[in-house]
Structure 1
Amino acid sequence: MKKVLLTSTAIVAFAGAAAAEVTITGSAEMGVVGGSDLATQFFQDVDVKFTMTGETDGGLSFGAAVDLDEAGNLGNEFSNQGVAIFVSGGFGTLTMGDTDGALDFVLTDAGNIGNPGSIADDETSHIGYLGSYLDGSGTADNQVVRYDYSFGDFAVAVSMEQNPQGADGFVVDGQDDPDEDDVNYAIGGSYATEFAGAAVSVGLGYQHAENGGPSVDDFFAFDSSTPGDDLTIVGTDDRVDAIGLGATFTLDSGFTAGFTYTGFDFEEDAVDDASHVGIGMGYAFDAFSVHFNYGLYNFDIDGVGEFDVQGYGIAAGYDLGGGASLLFGYGRSELDSDLDDDFADTVVDSSDDDFDTFSLGLSMAF
């Protein structure tokens, strides 16, 4: 989403067989970062990605992509390795590994709308941001299997993600038999068209996760010695369903905008309702580009009250040409609670949890 990568390519061809192609792309970033309770300091990052593609004599495409900064688990065949492998043909595309689930596939999240990026992703690091929905929830390891198919202006996708028992998926003492494991799954569809001079796309999807989701514990620190300890809000064993709807539109002038709405239904009765709203917009003119996104979680807790978790992000970029860009990013996170006084004493005061981050630097794509 954030880098346009130039490529150097090695092609190996064999007589009587289709060509195989290995592409190496890379990026480097340097600058400064800082924020609340964070000393302003130097920042540098380098990433290298290998993309391998091929085609069978019958026209079946296949390939894999290895992102080295996410490939620390290479060699563990039963887990996410930072690798996505695919096969594609007239039947559609089947992808396995480090890839989006079906709900994330059909929706464009707020941070992907007209975003030039930043060296430290500050504009998408605030706590109000929702980017991958229920992918990786609970014990799931982000090893996703997704099938997608496009026909005309429509696209559909289904995905599944397992919840392994322990390291490498093997049984750990005291845990259930892996044959009894439940799975996370998702389904979604999208439609893209031209309307009133704008390119418009809409998406709708559903996702189920056996373990987890956006947890209250992610936003507040609970003290088990207080009355809150007898109230399980949202834990890693909770099942949750999500329904997401989103739309984006893009004008020829360079302006683009969109929104997502996600409703969460928790199995745990303590949470009456939870939802998330995200909006994003961007504008590109000449070598300049700017972006804004906002996200809001709302939790309604039975007998306790409700609270909002929200944040916003800003990014700006100037394209220097040749793959180099000057980038700025800023993110702000805020908590706004209306909890019962007795229960509010069990959480960190919301004023202590507001924070921001920023970055400024140069991004280079190779």
Structure 2
Amino acid sequence: MKKILLSSAAIVAFAGAASAEITLSGSATVGYNDDHEGGVYADADIDFTASQELNNGWTAALSYGIELEQLEYSDDDGMGIDQGGSFDGNVLFSISNDMYGLHYGDTEFAAASLWSGVSDMASDGFSEKDGEEILKFTGKMGGIEAAISAPVLNDSQELGQMSFGATGSFGNFGFGVAYQEEGEAMSATNGLEGDYNEEEILGLFVSTDLAGASIKVAYASNETAGTDSTGIEVSYPIGDVSVGAFYVSESDQDDGFGVSVDYASGPASVSAFYNEVDGAAEVGLEGSYAVNDDLTVFAGYIDDDNLEGGAYIGAEYDLGGGASFLASYGDADEEGDDEFGAKDYKDGMTVQLGLSF
């Protein structure tokens, strides 16, 4: 991450005597895949953040994120790089202190930001950000963190679905509640994207540590669909091994359950798991080994009834300065699937150069 100090006279939005801080961060990748991408691909994300300390402990901040959508190389017409790529800008403005904050733009819905359910619950589909402009108020007081939000509808500029979340602790127990009202359905004009869910949903969870084990119990009710999920999740460390399990009782589909065993010691790590959700099973074994400080090799196999798995093998080399080189080979269960395994590996042979700053 690089930081540049500029005088506030150059930043109209943050006028004042003190200087404003401009932060530049981002990532970029360029690579070649012989199957899914059809050749060369590239994408980049760049974030600019300007912040200014105000009076009485308040800070104003403005962030602008630029996403360069993927550019692909096409052999079909000999034209080289596809010109369909584009820039998408995301803006977030906030003013906050140690207790309160007001945020507008590219921020998460309140319920989704504070909800912590059990794995693979069917009824906890809280709306998640996917390009919407969201107005959110956050607060912290007496060990309680809370937030309330609503998207701004593009067609009317009115506030849409109200979303609320709160978490806290009492002694050895943590707790949380999340709620979203029934909202306006997605459309081409109101700015609500693919991860927006217009249904009314209520969720509650409680967590604690008992005899070295971490335990969470959660309940979610989809009031619109008339369904609910009740689950429990447990994890227990035994030296270098961590054992986990979950079970979810569902009102309108087969109950879900799963077990996992994770091992990490020195340069080696291995993860094995079995999940069954709504009658569809997923079993996997994944591992990695750090040959030295720069080179890590990895391999894994996932068998998924929903054809979202496959086998992969590869290596990643740290070039220093936030740069890395990746070479991998994946054999996906479903042809063209490019998101499976621990790092969303691509089907086919991939070589990729990455940079973060």
Q: Which TM-score applies when normalising by structure 2?
A: 0.52
Residue in structure 2 matching 1:105, options 101, 104, 113: 113
Question: CA separation of 1:70/1:356 partners in 2, compared to 1, >3 Å: closer, same or farther?
Answer: closer
Separation of aligned partners in 2, 1:54 and 1:103: 28
Q: For 1:278 and 1:212, locate their aligned partners in 2 and report how far apart those are by CA, in whole Å.
A: 35
Alignment of 1:308-319 (within 5 A): 319=318
* CA deviation map 1:277-297 (0-9, x unaligned): 899998887788888999876
Match of 1:25 in 2: 25
Per-residue CA deviations over 1:35-54 (Å, capped at 9, x if unaligned) read: 7xx45533211221110100
Confirm whether residue 144 of structure 1 aligns to residue 134 of structure 2.
yes
Report deviation, 1:17. 1.6
Counterpart-to-counterpart distance in 1, 2:258 and 2:148:
23
Q: Secondary structure at the match of 2:56?
A: coil
Q: Confirm or deny: 8 A CA contact 1:95 1:146 kept in the other structure.
A: yes
CA distance in 1, matches of 2:328, 2:204: 27
2:143 is equivalent to residue 207 of structure 1? no
Asked if structure 2 preserves the Cα contact closer than 8 Å seen for 1:47 and 1:67, the reply is yes
1:186 is aligned to: 164
Deviation string 1:37-82 (CA, Å, 9 cap, x unpaired) is x4553321122111010011333111011111189xxxxxxxx961
Q: CA deviation at 1:18?
A: 2.4
Give the corresponding residue for 1:85: 93
2:127 to 134, 137, 142: 134
**1:324 maps to which residue?**
323
Amino acid at match of 2:22: V
Paired residue for 1:119?
A: none
Distance verdict in 2 for CA 1:108–1:333, change over 3 Å: farther
Residue pairs, 1:204-283, within 5 angstroms: 204-211=176-183, 239-243=199-203, 245=205, 263-268=220-225, 273=252
C-alpha contact (below 8 Å) 1:108/1:248 kept by paired residues: no
1 CA distance for matches of 2:252 and 2:274?
20
Are 1:142 and 1:161, in contact at CA under 8 Å, matched by a contact in 2?
A: no
Distance in 1 separating the partners of 2:353 and 2:216 = 29
Distance of aligned partners of 1:311 and 1:324 in 2 relative to their CA distance in 1, 3 Å threshold: same
For each residue in 1:291-322, what CA deviation from the matched residue of structure 2 results, as whole angstroms up to 9, or x when unmatched? 899987659xxxxxxxx979679998654431
**Which shows bigger deviation, 309-318 or 102-111?**
309-318
Amino acid at match of 1:20: A
Give the match for residue 344 of structure 1. Answer: none
Does residue 66 in structure 1 map to residue 64 in structure 2? yes
Judged with a 3 Å threshold, the aligned counterparts in structure 2 of structure 1 residues 298 and 157 are, in CA distance, closer, same or farther, namely: farther
CA distance in 1: counterparts of 2:126 and 2:321, whole angstroms: 35
**Higher relative contact order, chain-length normalized (CA < 8 Å, sep 6+):** 1
For the residues of structure 1 that align with 2:326 and 2:216, how far apart are their CA atoms? Answer: 24
Counterpart position of 1:218: none
CA separation in 1, counterparts of 2:103 and 2:125? 17
Greater helix content: 1
More strand by share: 2
Deviation of 1:27 (Å):
1.7
Aligned in 2, Cα 1:130/1:239: closer, same or farther, shift over 3 Å?
closer
TM-aligned CA distance change 1:103 to 1:270, over 3 Å? closer
Q: Which amino acid aligns with 1:207?
A: Y
Deviations along 1:227-283, whole A, 9 cap, x unmatched?
A: xxxxxxxxx99633141648799xxxxxxx998967341424599647998999988
CA distance in 2, matches of 1:248, 1:316: 38
Q: Which amino acid aligns with 1:95?
A: H
Q: Partners of 1:96 and 1:317 in 2: how far apart? A: 38
Aligned-residue Cα RMSD (Å) equals 5.7
> Does the Cα contact within 8 Å between 2:139 and 2:147 map onto a contact in 1?
no
Secondary structure, aligned partner of 2:67: helix
Provide the TM-score with structure 1 as the length reference.
0.50
Aligned residues: 262
| Structure 2 runs not aligned, ≥5 long | 10-14, 70-87, 187-195, 229-250, 280-304, 340-344
For 2:44, which of 46, 51, 56 is the aligned residue? Answer: 46
Deviates more, 1:57-66 or 1:40-49: 40-49
Q: 1:48 to 1:93 in 2, by over 3 A?
A: same
- Counterpart check, 1:10 vs 2:9: no
Counterparts in 2 of 1:280-359, with a 5 A limit? Answer: 298=278, 319-326=318-325, 357=339, 358-359=345-346
Closer, same or farther in 2 for the Cα pair 1:187/1:10, shift >3 Å?
same
2:356 to 330, 350, 365: 365
Q: Is the 8 A contact 2:118 2:218 kept in 1?
A: no
SS at match of 1:183: coil
Q: Structure 1 residues 292 and 92, CA, compared in 2 at 3 Å: closer, same or farther?
A: farther
Which residue does the alignment assign to 2:156? 169
- SS of corresponding position for 1:104: helix
Q: Is the 8 A contact 1:144 1:159 kept in 2?
A: no
Cα distance, 1:284–1:356 mapped onto 2, change above 3 Å:
same
Maintained 8 Å contact 2:127/2:198: no
Opposite residue 105 of structure 1, the aligned amino acid is S
Q: Does 1:95 align with 2:103?
A: yes
| CA distance in 2: counterparts of 1:128 and 1:331, whole angstroms | 29
1:12, CA displacement in angstroms? 1.5
- Which of the two has higher C-alpha Rg? 2
Deviation string, structure 1 residues 207-240 (Cα, Å, up to 9, x no partner) = 31424899xxxxxxxxxxxxxxxxxxxxx99633
TM superposition shift of 1:86 = 0.9
Structure 1 portions without partners, runs of 5+ = 1-5, 72-79, 112-126, 171-177, 196-200, 215-235, 250-256, 300-307, 335-351
